[in-house]
Amino acid sequence: MKKTTMIIGILLVLVAMMGFAGGKGETSSSSPSSSGGITLRVLYYLEATAPNAISDADLWFSTFEKNNPGVKIDRENLFNDPYHDKLRAYSAAGNIPDVMYVWPTTRMDYLYNAKQLKDLTPFINKDNIKGQFLPMTMDPANQSAGYMAMIPQAITTTHAFYINQEVLDDCKLQPAKTYAELKAQVPVLKAKGYETIIIPAKDDWVMQSCLFSMVAGRFGGADWDQKILKGQAKFTDPDFVNALAFIKTLYDDGVIQRSAVGVEYGEGPGLFANKKSAYYIDGDWRVGMFITDSSTGQALISPARQANIKIGSFPDIPGAKINQSNSVILGTGYGMSASIPAGSAKEQAAWELVKWMTGKEVSQLRTEHGGTPTPSRTDLDFNAMKLEPMQKAIANIGSTFKTATIVIDGVFDSSVYNPINTGLIEIAMGRRTPVQVAADVQRAYDTWKNTKK
């Protein structure tokens, strides 16, 4: 996150890699299969309704067991808040799984502060796989842990502005390039029975991560977060208050309906696919919900219709310090429990699983099936992949913005970003003003900062 100026360049390089093929996949070092019965407890993040999600997971873990006959996977599948609640409970009990799906951000600070995950640097160096990943994904400075606590599967653009040209065509409109154009489209779309923007904001992290982080970056400028961390700015300053005020404006202008705070995260893709709105806001990862499920041959949006879906970044905002920017962060990945005895066969088995789940074969299939829009590996053959129109569109999202800014929950402690999450909902409901929410966040930040002294 400290190297945000590098990220856009890296994303553009990755897009250019669509024509690159080469490199050798890593080979497994000494197989743990000779060690006898080893059971690995795995906590896996699985959205069961996503296309290919169940069949892919079953394939990856069964293939690993087949290739490592002495190892059995005891897998627990959870998604969204239940996943985080369960992992936090495991952490508090000092009984985390052997391998788990983790975030490189402050969202997992309870694991990092307690040093519950192993440093993967020695394993990475031993197997010489560092060069098979984008440099920023191998830099421990970009992880909240401060060490290589996990291997990221991807680089993640947390704000994606999905555009349904079918709806716009029905209203004789073109994609809005400025907020003024977007606002002007509201009554035209409403007259035809369409909402302007749908965002599934009931889960409070969505508005913060998928929209407000981008907005805060535009009003605060590049590295606005560092100014706060260095004591050069406050959350109560005009930049942050104006960013909050813009969210209020979105509701006041009817660009986003206040009912968005009642839309479950799982509902969003279906509403957009059924042409309930001209625009949809979510993360880049959400493209995987729309593509064809290989097991059923069905897609939420057929490949033919996908040709009418464009994916970019939010239109230019008046009064912002910068425009054509977006919120970018390291993606999720896998880590290993620090409680596994060092040098043991179980440790080797756990490492082999982490390496397999972030390896070339799994990464290529995840990319092809929509699970990883912007993979962290540099040795994938994009030309050999069967990518649908929306996948190609999301792969090019890096070309739709010039500046990468931070994701709030990737930089600040949960005690600081939670008041932002809840405050955004309170603004939508008219319960608190932007000035009041900014004051709440600054108090939380001051309290957090004092505990660090």
CATH of the domain at 118: 3.40.190.10
Identify whether residues 301 and 203 lie together within a single domain: yes
Identify whether residues 311 and 279 lie together within a single domain: yes
**pLDDT value at position 371?**
80
Lowest mean per-residue pLDDT among 57-61, 79-83, 132-136, 256-260? 132-136
Identify whether residues 33 and 176 lie together within a single domain: no
Identify whether residues 62 and 113 lie together within a single domain: yes
- Tens of pLDDT, residue by residue over 155-191, are 999 999 999 999 999 999 999 999 999 999 999 999 9
Q: Total structural domains in the chain?
A: 2
Residue 27 in any domain: the answer is: yes
Q: Which residues contact 396 (CB under 8 A, 6 or more apart)?
A: 15, 311
Q: Residue 266 gets which letter from DSSP?
A: G
Identify whether residues 149 and 175 lie together within a single domain: no
Residue 423 in any domain: the answer is: yes
- Tens of pLDDT, residue by residue over 191-222, are 999 999 999 999 999 999 999 999 999 999 99
Residue 248 in any domain: the answer is: yes
Identify whether residues 267 and 415 lie together within a single domain: yes
Alpha carbon 384 to its chain's center: 25
- Tens of pLDDT, residue by residue over 84-100, are 999 999 999 999 999 99
Identify whether residues 150 and 218 lie together within a single domain: no
Residue 347 in any domain: the answer is: yes
Identify whether residues 210 and 305 lie together within a single domain: yes
Identify whether residues 184 and 38 lie together within a single domain: no
pLDDT band at residue 7 under the 50/70/90 scheme: very low
Residue 397 in any domain: the answer is: no
For residue 421, give both structure tokens: 């999450």
**pLDDT value at position 398?**
87
Residue 396 in any domain: the answer is: no
pLDDT band at residue 36 under the 50/70/90 scheme: low
Could you list the residue range(s) of the whole structural domain that residue 28 is in? Answer: 4-155+331-385
Identify whether residues 271 and 165 lie together within a single domain: yes
By percentage, how much of the chain surpasses pLDDT 70?
92
Residue 24 in any domain: the answer is: yes
* CA atoms of 268 and 301, how far apart (whole Å): 13
Describe the crossing of helices 434-451 and 238-252 by its angle, rounded to 10 degrees.
140
Q: What is the 3-state secondary structure (H, E, C) of the chain?
A: CCCHHHHHHHHHHHHHHHHCCCCCCCCCCCCHHHHCCEEEEEEEECCCCCCCHHHHHHHHHHHHHHHCCCEEEEEEEECHHHHHHHHHHHHHCCCCCCEEEECCCHHHHHHHHCCCECCCHHHHHHHCCHHHECHHHHCHHHCCCCCCCCEECEEEECCEEEEEHHHHHHCCCCCCCEHHHHHHHHHHHHHCCCEEEECCCCCCHHHHHHHHHHHHHHHHCCCHHHHHHCCCCCCCCHHHHHHHHHHHHHHHCCCECHHHHHCCHHHHHHHHHCCCEEEEEECHHHHHHCCECCCCCCECCCHHHHCCEEEECCCECCCCCCCCEEEEEECCEEEEECCCCCCCHHHHHHHHHHHHHCCHHHHHHHHHCCCCCCECECCCCHHHCCCCHHHHHHHCHHHHCCEEECCHHHHCCHHHHHHHHHHHHHHHCCCCCHHHHHHHHHHHHHHHHHHCC
Q: Is residue 19 predicted with pLDDT exceeding 50?
A: no
The overall average pLDDT reported for the chain is 91
Cα dihedral across residues 362, 364, 365, 370: positive or negative: positive
Identify whether residues 420 and 440 lie together within a single domain: yes
Residue 355 in any domain: the answer is: yes
Q: Are 199 and 210 in contact (CB under 8 A)?
A: yes
Global confidence as pTM = 0.83
Identify whether residues 188 and 44 lie together within a single domain: no
